[in-house]
């Protein structure tokens, strides 16, 4: 923003020029020639325009040299203070976030959607265990699309769902090779009939607990039922295959 002295100085110069123009018009109005009008206005110009202009320029230069460094220093100090304030606020936010991360790492928070998904998921697989019987042999097969492989490159959601399934059902997890699918055919078979954003639950129509599991898991994740397993199967009873589609998310992430 302009300083007060700049505003007043420029206003004074403009006013003087306006008066000079009026003085010239007045001279011409009295039938004086252009040369006579200019001559009569010259002294007025020197006294009321040129001299104030020089004085203003000198004053501006003197004040600029004396006040300019102080003003720049003041602006720099103000900017530094603002940066320090933002830095302090950012540091405080980082510390609060670090505290929150530490707390959530060690203590489950029932207000988190992840806690709800875990509890409802475990309850769904516990109901599945009750349906097949407490001592029944079982296996839950998992597959996911590349680059995940339910191994070193397993996706976070796939890992969470597998742990929830094993904890709730007390059934071991596996893959298609556990039911006789050859290694060379496993990748192709795992992609056969896959549905994006959905889990396809493969199990025979008369499989115990499968339909109930579909309903219960549907409360927390998108799921669809299939009534057959791959043809090459060496296992029969209480084997289900959860085929995880690409882009799979929890239901609460879809809203």
Is-contact 174 139, C-beta < 8 A?
yes
- Alpha carbons 70 and 198: distance in angstroms, whole number: 67
- The reply to whether 67 and 129 lie within a common domain is no
What pLDDT was estimated at residue 2?
Answer: 47
pLDDT at 163: 96
First CA to last CA across the chain, in angstroms? 48
Average model confidence (pLDDT) across the chain: 83
Structural contact between residues 241 and 202, judged by C-beta atoms closer than 8 angstroms: yes
At 78, the pLDDT band (50, 70, 90 cuts) reads: confident
Instruction: Considering only residues 189 and 69, tell me which one the structure prediction assigns the higher pLDDT.
Output: 189
Of 72, 105, 138, which residue constitutes the final position of a domain?
Answer: 105
How does residue 1 score in pLDDT terms, banded at 50, 70 and 90? Answer: very low
Residue that finishes a domain, picked among 105, 122, 148:
105
User: In b/e form, how buried is each residue of 124-145, taking b as 16+ CB within 10 angstroms?
Assistant: bbebbbebbeeeeebbbbbbbb
Task: Tell whether 194 and 236 lie within a shared domain.
Answer: yes
The answer on 182 and 117 residing in a single domain is yes
Predicted confidence band of residue 50 (pLDDT cuts 50, 70, 90): low
pTM of the model: 0.65
Number of domains in the chain: 2
Pair 248, 130 in one domain: yes
On whether both 179 and 133 belong to a single domain, the answer is yes
Which tokens belong to 196? 């994006």
| 228 pLDDT higher than 50 | yes
Q: Which two tokens stand for residue 99?
A: 């505290």
Structural domain harbouring 36:
4-105
Residues 156 and 246 in one domain: yes
Query: Which residue has better confidence, 233 or 227?
Result: 227
Q: Is the peptide bond before 192 cis (omega within 30 degrees of 0)?
A: no
The pair of three-digit structure tokens given for residue 63, joined into one six-digit string:
């004040």
Whether residues 187 and 237 fall in one domain: yes
Domain boundary pick from 74, 105, 136: 105
> Do 180 and 97 share a structural domain?
no
Task: Examine the domain organization and report whether 157 and 213 are in the same domain.
Answer: yes
**Residue 153 pLDDT class (50, 70, 90 cuts):** confident
Looking at the fold, whether 119 and 207 belong to one and the same domain comes out as: yes
Same structural domain, 101 and 117: no
pLDDT value at 47 more than 60 = yes
In tens, the pLDDT along 94-138 reads 888 888 888 877 787 888 899 999 999 999 999 999 999 999 999
Residue 40: what pLDDT? 67
Give ∠ CA 208-212-217 in degrees, rounded to 5.
125
Residues 244, 241: Cα–Cα separation, whole Å: 9
Q: Are 62 and 18 part of one and the same domain?
A: yes
Q: Which two tokens stand for residue 194?
A: 């896959």
């Amino acid at each position: 923003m302009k300083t007060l002295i700049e505003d007043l100085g420029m206003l004074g110069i403009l006013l003087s020029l306006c008066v000079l123009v009026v003085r010239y018009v007045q001279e011409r109005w009295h039938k004086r020639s252009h040369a006579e009008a200019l001559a009569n206005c010259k002294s007025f110009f020197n006294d009321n325009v040129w001299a104030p202009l020089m004085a203003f320029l000198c004053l501006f230069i003197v004040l600029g040299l004396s006040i300019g460094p102080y003003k720049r220093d003041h602006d720099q100090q103000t900017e530094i203070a603002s940066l320090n304030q933002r830095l302090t606020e950012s540091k405080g936010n980082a510390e609060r976030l670090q505290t929150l991360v530490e707390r959530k790492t060690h203590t489950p928070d029932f207000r988190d959607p992840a806690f709800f998904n875990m509890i409802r998921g475990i309850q769904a697989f516990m109901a599945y265990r009750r349906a097949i019987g407490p001592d029944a042999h079982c296996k839950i097969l998992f597959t996911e699309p590349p680059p995940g492989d339910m191994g070193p490159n397993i996706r976070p959601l796939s890992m969470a769902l597998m742990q929830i399934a094993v904890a709730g059902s007390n059934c071991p997890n596996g893959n298609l090779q556990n039911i006789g699918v050859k290694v060379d055919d496993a990748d192709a078979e795992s992609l056969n009939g896959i549905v994006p954003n959905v889990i396809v639950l493969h199990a025979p129509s008369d499989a115990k607990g499968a339909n109930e599991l579909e309903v219960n898991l549907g409360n927390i994740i998108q799921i669809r039922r299939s009534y057959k397993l791959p043809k090459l199967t060496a296992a029969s009873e209480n084997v289900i295959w959860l085929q995880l589609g690409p882009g799979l998310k929890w239901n609460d992430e879809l809203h």
